[in-house]
Structure 1
Amino acid sequence: MTDTSTQDEITLPDGEVTLLIVDDDHAFVQRLARAMEKRGFETETSETIEDAIARIESNPPAYAVVDMRLGDGNGLDVVDRLRQVRPDARSVVLTGYGNIATAVTAVKLGAMDYLSKPADADDVVTALLRNPEDRAAPPDNPMSADRVRWEHIQRIYELCDRNVSETARRLNMHRRTLQRILAKRAPR
């Protein structure tokens, strides 16, 4: 996450500017919290789903930035609970494991946007304050076809509880081919 200070054109709306940041990467949470405070938000942080939901229950924030994968579960549970407790709240989901299915689910559960890490603070603010009627701008650097394929394979692999044989069967792929793909680094 980079903190670019080109935030002059973005102004916070009048009213409550409480923000809950939920991510299990302590250093990332602290950097994002400082960057968001510089932009006028009153931030609280949480590193677990349990703690985040407790904070939402006691004092629901107007805004939330939630990591998709947390040590104790799925960040979409936090987005869903926030929408139930405070329907007018705006949330953004951040993830290093982006794919279309989870993006659609995040939006259906009430997220304003779905951003891939690393996202800078200005991207997060823009996503939080964007008019829901406006379309999001196309990405400056969209995923390559190889990356989209890799993401799809990773998603199916996770859904099959990291079982290579079951994943290969569902993808109609030879098991050894899948093992070679899984052993490689993610394409750009």
Structure 2
Amino acid sequence: MNGLLIDDDEVYARVLQRSLERRGLALRVAHNAHDALDLAQASPPDFALVDLKLGGESGLNLIAPLRALRADMRIILVTGYASVATAVEAIKRGADNYLPKPVTAAALLRALHDEAPLEEAETMTPLSRLEWEHIQQAMQACDGNVSAAARLLGMHRRSLQRKLAKRPGPERRLGEADA
């Protein structure tokens, strides 16, 4: 399956892209609506993962043009600002699913294949992964300067260095044994 990931958060998009590609999906990434539509028109994907807030734009406005390019495209709206109102609006506009961020690759795969979701505890992103992504955002905002990123995060520089040395492991399902 080939897909299109549309998210203005470059770090989150990169992490999610790698995670889904490890599971056999091919993904192109766009960070705004204009680029997303250009990529989709060049080669309509099998599915699209669309962030609700794309800078000053709304991912809701991408649903209809994407659906017009390919009627059988799976469109999943992903958002850190989940609400009943936006979920209803997304489905009304033609989205196939609506998932709150942070979403795991496993949860996205289940949504793409129309499988029933697992229990919430089984689909939660581990806290270590969320912390890692937050640190990476700070590092990117500070152009890789550890001291500046530590100040931005409100922690000691050495503490940040220790956290950077501990890259989180792969996501695990509930009940898997720790090796």
TM-score bin, normalised by smaller chain: 0.5 to 0.7
Q: CA deviation at 1:139?
A: 6.0
SS of residue in 1 equivalent to 2:37: helix
Alignment correspondent of 1:44: 28
Alignment correspondent of 2:107: 123
Alignment correspondent of 1:6: none
Alignment correspondent of 1:32: 16
Indicate conservation of the 8 Å contact 1:48/1:72, yes or no: no
Runs of 5+ unmatched residues, structure 1: 1-16, 142-188
SS of residue in 2 equivalent to 1:79: helix
In 2, Cα distance between the equivalents of 1:137 and 1:54? 32
SS of residue in 2 equivalent to 1:64: strand
Indicate conservation of the 8 Å contact 2:79/2:101, yes or no: yes
In 1, Cα distance between the equivalents of 2:119 and 2:63? 23
Q: Match for 1:112 among 87, 96, 115?
A: 96
In 2, Cα distance between the equivalents of 1:53 and 1:76? 13
In 2, Cα distance between the equivalents of 1:37 and 1:109? 28
How many residues align? The count is 121
Indicate conservation of the 8 Å contact 1:68/1:74, yes or no: yes
Runs of 5+ unmatched residues, structure 2: 122-179
Q: Which of structure 1's runs of 4+ aligned residues deviate more than 2 A? A: 136-141
Higher relative contact order (CA 8 A, sep 6+): 1
Indicate conservation of the 8 Å contact 1:49/1:72, yes or no: no
In 1, Cα distance between the equivalents of 2:94 and 2:27? 20
Alignment correspondent of 2:49: 65
Alignment correspondent of 2:157: none
Q: CA deviation at 1:138?
A: 7.8
Indicate conservation of the 8 Å contact 1:23/1:29, yes or no: yes
Percent same amino acid among aligned pairs?
36
Q: How does 1:128-147 map to 2 (within 5 A)?
A: 128-130=112-114, 136-137=116-117, 140=120
- Normalised by the length of structure 1, the TM-score is 0.60
SS of residue in 1 equivalent to 2:96: strand
Indicate conservation of the 8 Å contact 1:46/1:52, yes or no: yes
In 2, Cα distance between the equivalents of 1:72 and 1:49? 10
